Amino acid sequence: MWIDGHLDLAYNASLGRDLTLGLGALRACDPVEGQTATVSFEELRRAGVGLCLGTLFAAPQTNDHAGYTDWRGARAQAISQLEQYQRWQDGGFIRLLGSGAEISAHAAKYDQHLGDPAASPLGVVLLMEGADPLRDVDDLPFWHKEGVRAIGLSWGKTRFAGGTAAAGPLTERGRELLAGMRELGVAQDLSHLDEQAFFEAVELQPRCFASHSNSRAVLKLGSAEGNRHLSDEMARAIGERGGIIGLVLVDSFLKGGWVLGDPRVELQQVLRHAERYAELIGWDKVGLGSDLDGGFGNEKTPLGIDQASDLGRLAEVFPDEARDGVMGGNWLRWLGANL
pLDDT given at position 120: 87
pLDDT at 63: 55
| Burial of residue 263 (number of CB atoms within 10 Å: 0-12, 13-18, 19+) | exposed
Please give the Cα distance from 24 to 29 (Å, whole number): 9
Q: Which amino acid is at 240?
A: E
Pairing of strands 161-163, 148-152: unpaired
Per the CB < 8 A criterion, the answer to whether 212 and 183 are in contact is no
Which residues make beta-bridge pairs with 262? 260
**Distance in angstroms (rounded) separating the CA atoms of residues 335 and 123:** 12
Residue 76: partners with Cβ closer than 8 Å, 6 or more residues away: 68
Whole-number Å distance between alpha carbons of 254 and 291: 13
Q: Return the bridge partners of 246, or none.
A: 287
pLDDT at 111: 86
Give the DSSP H/E element, type plus range, for residue 52. strand 49-57
Distance between CA 209 and CA 246 in Å, rounded? Answer: 8
Instruction: Sort 34 into a burial class: Cβ within 10 Å, 0-12 / 13-18 / 19+.
Output: exposed
Q: Are residues 95 and 124 in contact, defined by beta-carbon separation less than 8 angstroms?
A: yes
pLDDT of residue 64: 59
Q: What is the pLDDT of residues 119-172, one digit of tens each?
A: 889 999 999 999 999 999 999 999 999 999 999 999 989 999 999 989 999 999
| pLDDT given for residue 116 in this prediction | 81
Measured in residues, the chain has a length of 339
Looking at residue 216, its pLDDT comes to 97
Checking DSSP bridges between strand 208-209 and strand 187-189, what pairing results, if any? parallel
- Provide the phi-psi class of 35: left if phi over 0, else alpha when psi is between -120 and 50, else beta: beta
Q: Is 44 exposed, middle or buried (0-12, 13-18, 19+ CB in 10 A)?
A: buried
In the chain, how many domains are there? Answer: 1
The residue ranges of DSSP E strands in 130-253, in sequence order, are 148-152, 161-163, 166-170, 187-189, 208-209, 245-247
pLDDT in tens, the chain (339 residues): 999 999 999 999 999 999 999 999 999 999 999 999 999 999 999 999 999 999 999 988 875 577 888 999 999 999 999 999 999 999 999 999 999 999 999 999 998 887 688 788 999 999 999 999 999 999 999 999 999 999 999 998 999 999 998 999 999 999 999 999 999 999 999 999 999 999 999 999 999 999 999 999 999 988 778 889 999 999 999 999 999 999 999 999 999 999 999 999 999 999 999 999 999 999 999 999 999 999 899 999 999 999 999 999 999 999 999 999 999 999 999 999 999
- CATH number of 25's domain: 3.20.20.140
Name the DSSP class of 241.
Answer: T
Give me the residues paired with residue 148 across strands.
126
DSSP string across 101-119:
HHHHHHHHHHHHTTT-TTT
State how beta strands 166-170 and 161-163 pair.
antiparallel
Cβ(103)–Cβ(334) under 8 Å? Answer: no
What per-residue confidence (pLDDT) applies to 119? 81
Helix (H/G/I), strand (E/B), else coil: 298? helix
Look up the domain containing 272 and give its range.
2-338
CA dihedral of residues 48, 50, 51, 55 (deg, nearest 10): 80
Rounded to an integer, what distance in angstroms lies between the CA atom of residue 265 and that of residue 269? Answer: 7
The single-letter code of the amino acid at 57 is F
Q: Which residue in 34, 39, 36, 46 sits closest to 11, CA to CA?
A: 39
